[in-house]
Amino acid sequence: MSISKRTAIGFIAGNQEAIEKVYLEYKNLMYFVIAAYVKNQDDCDDVLSEAFLKAVEHKDQLKDPNKLKSFLCSIAKNKAIDFMKKNRALPSSDLIEEIYGEEERSNPVLNMIEPLLSNKETIIVYLRAIHSYSWEEIVEETGIPESSARRIYSIAKEKLRKELLWA
């Protein structure tokens, strides 16, 4: 089910009834997008509220009413990512020794993959492949949702495969 073009135009114009209809129609979809990043239900609810308020505040930036759904999903995703960065961010590369530990800095595998991958990819590969962490343990250690961690791991493996096969 989706809203009519007339309702979308009303949303953009600031019509309160249209805004309420849009919220009721798309709140579950926005929540789903947010929940892909944010694990805690209360945090998801908070991020959803912030995301929808931002959508209403920036509704005039939406020029095509047919793109309302993607506009709302984009804002939901960005708010969820902002929340994760602010509340459960991975350590910066300056603090990477705290995760790896002093003894691991001389690990030849780690030294080989670190220049080829992003900080997140290196950490996830390190935890999963080198130390056999379960996905649940990786989620607990990094704060990254499992689906995202699995995706990052898959991308990292493909990068390594390409880099190491062509080296």
Whether residues 11 and 77 share a domain: the answer is yes
Whether residues 113 and 128 share a domain: the answer is yes
Q: Is the pTM value of this prediction over 0.75?
A: no
Whether residues 62 and 42 share a domain: the answer is yes
State the pLDDT at residue 24. Answer: 95
Whether residues 106 and 70 share a domain: the answer is no
CATH number of the domain residue 22 falls in: 1.10.1740.10
Whether residues 41 and 12 share a domain: the answer is yes
Whether residues 113 and 137 share a domain: the answer is yes
The per-residue pLDDT for range 96-153, each reduced to its tens digit, is 455 555 545 556 766 677 778 887 888 888 888 877 889 998 888 778 889 989 999 9
Structural domain including 35 reads 5-88
The per-residue pLDDT for range 41-92, each reduced to its tens digit, is 888 999 999 999 999 999 999 999 999 999 999 999 899 988 887 875 444 4
Whether residues 102 and 71 share a domain: the answer is no
The per-residue pLDDT for range 88-99, each reduced to its tens digit, is 544 444 434 555
State the pLDDT at residue 131. Answer: 78
Whether residues 84 and 105 share a domain: the answer is no
Whether residues 67 and 98 share a domain: the answer is no
- Across all residues in the chain, what is the average pLDDT? 83
Q: Is the pLDDT of residue 164 over 90?
A: no
Whether residues 57 and 108 share a domain: the answer is no
Summarize the confidence of residues 1-27 as an average pLDDT. 92
**Based on the structure, what is the number of domains in the chain?**
2
**Sequence-separated (6 or more) residues with CB below 8 Å from residue 159:** 116, 117, 121
Distance of CA 137 to the CA centre of its chain: 18
Whether residues 10 and 67 share a domain: the answer is yes
State the pLDDT at residue 126. Answer: 81
Helices (H), the chain: 5-13, 16-35, 41-57, 68-88, 96-100, 108-113, 119-125, 135-142, 146-166
Cα–Cα distances in angstroms (integers) from residue 78 to residues 21, 38, 67, 85, 132, in the given order: 22, 12, 16, 10, 31
